[in-house]
Structure 1
Amino acid sequence: MARVVLPEDSTKEISDVIDVLISLFFESLPRRDQRNWARVYLNGLVRTTGKKTIRNIAGTGASSVEQSLQQFISKSPWDWTPVRRSLARHLERTAQRPLAWVVQPMVIEKAGDASVGVGRQFVPQLGRTANCQQAGGIWLASSEASFPVEWTLTLPGPWTSELLRRTRAGIPDTARSLTPAQDAVHAVQRMAATWQLQRRPVVMEVSNAELPYCVDSFALQDIPFVIKVDGSLPVSFGGAGRHKPGPHTAPARELIDSLRSQRRVVEWTRHGRTEGAVTLLTSAAILAGVGDDRPPPVPLPPLLLVGAWTETALLPSEFWITNIGDRPLAQLFLLAKLTDRVSLDFAETCEPVGIRDFEGRSFRGWHHHATLASVAHAAHLLGCATGRPPEPHTPLPYPGPTRTPGRPPAVLPPRPLIPGQATRREYIR
């Protein structure tokens, strides 16, 4: 894709923001020279045209700078987790207050097999087998903007089972070969347990086969979710009350279509566009288990299946499973559509600052680069939105009392706040 070249005034404003973000997010780096190289790299991600490789960031003829940046990114042992956590906590308390945590897959096609995590694998997002890295971002998303704060890199089996390959890439002993969805769920669980953030609904898309694992995992930590599924998903419903025999099982598409007479019409504005859109919604209570016969590890809350038609469609085309039962359908739908907000910001900001551009071979280097690209993404959006850097010394309030000691409560968006909705009201058809 074409790279965005920022005007000089914009890059100056963003550089000012970067100076403040260094003091906010990189205090965990023990040495001043490390923080200085973080500043150089961040400014390079914002200012450099073309691919954001270490060589391009360093500039021609600056071999010492290139070597120092290579050391800082690929070999220096600084921990990226505190930086990502500080970024998330800062965004949590700013004007960009998130409504949801959105899981966004990222595919990086590669030549050869030396880059960490690369392999020939089927990629649902591409609909084909590709030689690539599969990664995932956890984004804090509001209707105005979204920000990646945590990243996963999926490691195919050979990267965890072959000792030589694992050693050369510096893969930690604790790393395991999981699916992208499992990696994302583990990342969300870590954030919920240790990052001291108010829990927002998790919005993601998973295959029908992996849905039971995701639902069970989120239920263990009382994490609200809106999960997009395929219409072929078998769901169980009915069976409550003397005159409702069952339960029955049917594909999600069939159950939703049987309720077309109960559809509500939602008028809304798509993210990044000015024209309005119309979507028809209906929902059905379904039984725990979502097509899987295994007993859940903890009692599951009631689940809701939500289905959507576009304005002219004869059949429902989108489906979500959620454990959020106390919000209007319009709000659940627009939470689900925050994936569009993330896709827009990924294409317009995160890709231009080079999130896919790391060419090193180490596990540590990939995560260092992803962390700095996330901060560059935030600096770009915060700098362009405000024209001034954020306050560096705002005290961080803890999210408040919890239902379980040490665990922030799940927080849903306030009822009046619906992302992307036009001023026209929802009405019943």
Structure 2
Amino acid sequence: MSAPSLERLETLSSRFVPDLVVDELCAELFASLPRSDQRRKGEVYLRGLLKAEGRKSIRNIAAHVGDRAAEQSLHHFVVSSTWDWGPVRAALARYLERALRPRAWVVQPVVISKAGTESVGVARRFVPERGQMVNSQVAFGVWAVGEEQSSPVNWRLALTDRWRESVGPLSPNVHRSELATSPLECATGAVEELRDWVGQPHRPVVFDLPDVDPAAVARRFGPAGLHFTATARGSMRVRCTDPVLPGSGNRELAAHQLLLMARTLRRPVTWLDPVTLRPRTSLVVGVRVELPQVAEPLVLFGEWTDPRGWPERCWVSDMVQAPAGALLRLAKRAQNVEHDFETVSQKVGITDFGGRSFGGWHRHTTLASAAHAVRVLTERGGER
């Protein structure tokens, strides 16, 4: 890229962007890149994600420059370059440890609709939330969640067999866990990698994955010493071991049936709505249970916003000593992620990468995650 083009892009894309935060973050993020031109392009791309108009494609980011050489250079930097996104994400994770002070990590899936079939990872999938088959990518993000705000840190892109075979031998920076074959493997691989980066084995992980069996989560995380809370279906079969419900015996029951039996033990719990930033109140109860092939004790807890009828949502956690109210507030941190994804991540282009390059998708998503971090850290205390 020519020097005038870079300078013009840096000038235009830095308008209204907090330079001090961007400068500080870029110095840490791109320290692992071996060449100064790579570090400079990384900052240019990050600023472009923050300020480019419309869809955050490489073309629109480069449009600030008005020079075809800028588009070609940035395209090569993201799509064809060999720089490893892992160390950049690790630097972002450590930066957020200090700046955001996360209380938990939240794992959530993202369905990214695509018009064509050529984008990496695209396949026809049934999406329960939409009730139909969708031509889409599915990504699993691990988010650092603070008191009120959240930021994505690590990612996995779900791959069909066809994509897995084409990606593996062509991408030098691909780690084995990035070619996982199931949602649970995608999620746990990303969490374990994040734990290695920041050294936080005791931070709780919220698995907001409705299609993943909580028993499988417990079997994977129990031996690793990572505490978790996982979304559970009301139809999931459990065995009550809680002495507060002697009438349940030692028989298997559906989770929502057991919680309904414990409804007289419900207590009101206040939690902060991430959209309105106002307190809300739910009723919650927790019951100790066993799940098949899980040695560790677990707690099932459920939530009612209307005291009548079945619980509206339920979860399973290995934090059996924690009060049910604290567990509910922890589970509710998934709503922070949903809100910040819609209001911040989408605006900085987290889902805007197109193309067949697996490395390109990860590099773009890494830089968009950094742009998200800039937004939430600089808008703290302002309107979200």
TM-score (structure 2 length as normaliser): 0.88
* Contact residue 141 and residue 342 of structure 1 kept, 8 A: yes
Choose the corresponding residue for 2:338, options 343, 347, 350.
343
Partners of 1:25 and 1:169 in 2: CA distance: 21
* Residue matched to 1:110: 114
- State the distance in 2 between where 1:269 and 1:240 align: 32
Contact 1:238 1:248 in 2 (8 A): no
Does 1:307 pair with 2:302?
A: yes
Please say which of residues 193-202 and 165-174 is displaced more in the overlay.
Answer: 165-174
* 1:65 has 2:70 as partner: yes
Moved more, 350-359 or 115-124: 115-124
- Structure 2 residue 212 is matched with structure 1 residue 217: no
Unaligned runs of 5+ residues in structure 2 are 1-11
Maintained 8 Å contact 1:156/1:177? no
Distance 2:304 2:15 in 1: 43
Distance 1:386 1:249, change over 3 A: closer
- Give deviations 1:195-218, integer Å, cap 9, x for gaps: 423531110133466332211111
Corresponding residue number in structure 1 for 2:274 = 271
Separation in structure 1 between the aligned mates of residue 298 and residue 80 of structure 2, nearest angstrom: 46
Q: Distance in 2 between matches of 1:326 and 1:354?
A: 41
1:85 aligns with: 90
Where does residue 52 of structure 1 map in the other structure? 56
CA distance in 1, matches of 2:116, 2:126: 16
Residue 3 of structure 1 corresponds to which residue in structure 2? none
Aligned counterpart, 1:414: none
1:155 aligns with 2:159: yes
- 1:26 corresponds, among 27, 30, 39, to 30
SS at match of 1:27: helix
The alignment status of 1:324 with 2:319, answered yes or no, reads yes
1:135: which partner in 2? 139
CA contact under 8 A between 1:182 and 1:214: conserved in structure 2?
Answer: no
Aligned counterpart, 1:233? 236
| C-alpha distance 140-11 of structure 1, shift in aligned 2 (>3 A) | farther
Equivalent in the alignment of 2:6: none
Cα pair distance change 1:31/1:229, threshold 3 Å: same
Higher RCO (C-alpha 8 Å, min separation 6): 1
Which residue is 2:259 aligned to? 256
SS in 1 for 2:207: strand
Amino acid corresponding to residue 365 of structure 2 in structure 1: A
RMSD: 2.6
CA–CA separation in structure 1 for the residues paired with 2:66 and 2:271:
53
Say whether residues 1:353 and 2:358 are aligned partners.
no
Select between 306-315 and 203-212 the one with higher mean Cα deviation. 203-212
In structure 2, do the counterparts of structure 1 residues 111 and 245 end up closer, same or farther at CA, with 3 Å as the change threshold? closer
Q: 1:385 aligns with which of 352, 362, 380?
A: 380
Contact 1:102 1:203 in 2 (8 A): yes
Matches within 5 A, 1:404-415: none
Counterpart of 1:285 in structure 2 is 288
- For structure 1, the residue ranges without an aligned partner over 5 or more in a row are 1-7, 388-429
Q: Is residue 365 of structure 1 aligned with residue 360 of structure 2?
A: yes
Retained in 1: the 8 A contact 2:139–2:156? yes
Higher helix share: 2
Distance 1:379 1:213 in 2: 35
Identity of aligned residues (%): 38
Looking at structure 1, the residues matched to 211 and 269 of structure 2 have their Cα atoms a distance apart, in angstroms, of: 27
The 1:309/1:21 distance shift into structure 2, 3 A limit, reads same
Give the deviation of 1:186 after TM superposition. Answer: 1.5
- Render the CA deviation track for 1:297-331: whole Å, top value 9, x for unaligned: xxx32100001111354221110100112222211
How far did residue 240 of structure 1 move? 7.7
Letter in 2 for 1:65: A
Is the 2:158–2:181 contact (alpha carbons within 8 Å) kept by the matching residues of 1? yes
* Deviation for aligned residue 1:130: 0.9
- Preserved contact between residue 13 and residue 384 of structure 1 (Cα < 8 Å): no
User: Which range moves more in the overlay, 230-239 or 32-41?
Assistant: 230-239
Structure 2 vs 1, CA of residues 236 and 110 (structure 1 numbering), >3 Å: closer, same or farther?
same
Partner in structure 1 of residue 9 of structure 2 = none
Return the offset for 1:344. Answer: 1.0
C-alpha spacing 1:262/1:80, structure 2 compared with 1 (3 Å): same
Aligned pair in 2 of structure 1 residues 377, 78: CA closer, same or farther (>3 Å)? Answer: same
Total equivalences in the alignment: 368
* Structure 1 residue aligned with 2:3: none
Mapped partners of 1:282, 1:64: distance in 2: 61
Q: Which one of 122, 125, 129 corresponds to residue 121 of structure 1? A: 125
TM-score, scaled relative to structure 1: 0.79
